[in-house]
Amino acid sequence: MKIKFGNRLLLSSILGYPVLLGAIFFFDLEPFRVTAPYFFIILVFLSIKAMKQKKLMVSRQDLPNLLLTLLVILVSAANFSSVRYSFPILFATYSFFLFLYLTTIESGFILKNKIVRRYLVIYFVFSVMFLFVSHAYMEVGERYIGFTGSPTTFSGLLVALFILFDTLSDQKRWIRILMFLFVFLFVALSKTRLVMIFLIGYPFLTYFINKKALNKGGVFMVFFLTLFFVYSLYGLVVEKYPELITLRYKDARDASFGLRYRLYEIVEENFVSGNKWEMLFGKGNEYSRNLIIEEIGLDIFPHNDFIRLINDWGIVGGGVFFVLLYRLALKNITSLLIALLYIVLWYSNMIFNLYLFSILIISSFHHGNMGGARLSK
């Protein structure tokens, strides 16, 4: 039987990625080893599809974004450091060909409501199943990891899929609210605090955007700038209002923040100490990650992708990626909400998460009947 690579298969392949992680994690194996090979296979199909086209036409509206993704490839390639740490190049190249596919090959992309609903049900089934798997919990506060091997990854992927469901769903309001409560329950079990805050604000945010009381560009900028600058002020919050950030610890401290703040300081000091060329154009892919390995002795990432991106790709590279992200976010309310969740998860080392960025790009191309997120209606 000949398999035709098209919209349906592409969407199913992307949404099915966490299911594959769950199948591997069930047997207590490292799930993230499959990420690069899995999305590389999709990249091969995307590139073959593009090469088969006799003529590629790009609209004036989409051309700037396509050029920006090409610039991201050049930035990542210019910052090549080693094959081992070349995942950002795969991320950039995959994003370019996904964008090229949606722009020139499958114009008028429509997200399939049935496919999204199907995978949301599958995610819920997996989430419930893994409640009974012993290694699906972390020792500290018994955080629920879910079926992806990481509590932040689990909560981020689940909420992203819910946003698609809430946007596309023609179900009754009580069903959408029930789905929201299920998602919130599992995020609460994972104790992923920033994602919980995002979910709490989600109904209010969508309500005011739908009422046109909030501008999409303004909302994105407020989120981005707040997350970009607030980390240096987080220490004051710990001192003045410790009850706000000690949800996971019984001894009234936040060991997680203490480590994260130290990692942030290491990368920030390293960026400031660089020469002008390094500050503008970066020190290399995964330079900040390697810096943490040298300083701490563990491969635990910087836990702040804002400073990580600037240190690795420089102000110019970070600026190019920001402009691309901003333009994608403004396409519709769904892409805006996915973009906001995405930058929230930059505090959890998920800037190069191919699943989230795929959904962001795809949602920005959706031309179906998308009037806005439905939960608030």
Q: What is the tens place of the pLDDT at every residue in 366-375?
A: 765 444 455 5
pLDDT of residue 311: 96
pLDDT of residue 370: 44
Tokens of 131: 């409640």
pLDDT of residue 369: 45
Residues 149, 32 contacting (CB under 8 angstroms): yes
pLDDT of residue 372: 47
Tokens of 211: 């009422």
pLDDT of residue 129: 94
* This prediction's pTM: 0.91
Interval 134-158: pLDDT, tens = 889 986 558 899 999 899 999 999 9
Q: How many helices (H) and strands (E) does the chain have?
A: 17, 0
Q: What residues form DSSP beta bridges with 144?
A: 137
Cα gap 167→377, rounded to integer Å: 11
Q: Where are the beta strands (DSSP E) in the chain?
A: none
* pLDDT for residue 167 is more than 90: no
Non-local (6+) Cβ contacts of 38 within 8 A are 17, 20
Residues 292, 302 contacting (CB under 8 angstroms): yes
Q: Which region among 61-75, 185-199, 234-248 has the lowest average model confidence (pLDDT)?
A: 234-248
**Burial letters for 19-48: b for 16+ Cβ neighbours within 10 Å, e otherwise?**
bebbebbbeeeebeeebbebbeebbebbbe
Q: Is 54 helix (H, G, I), strand (E, B) or coil?
A: coil
Q: Is 137 helix (H, G, I), strand (E, B) or coil?
A: strand
Interval 278-298: pLDDT, tens = 999 999 999 999 999 998 888
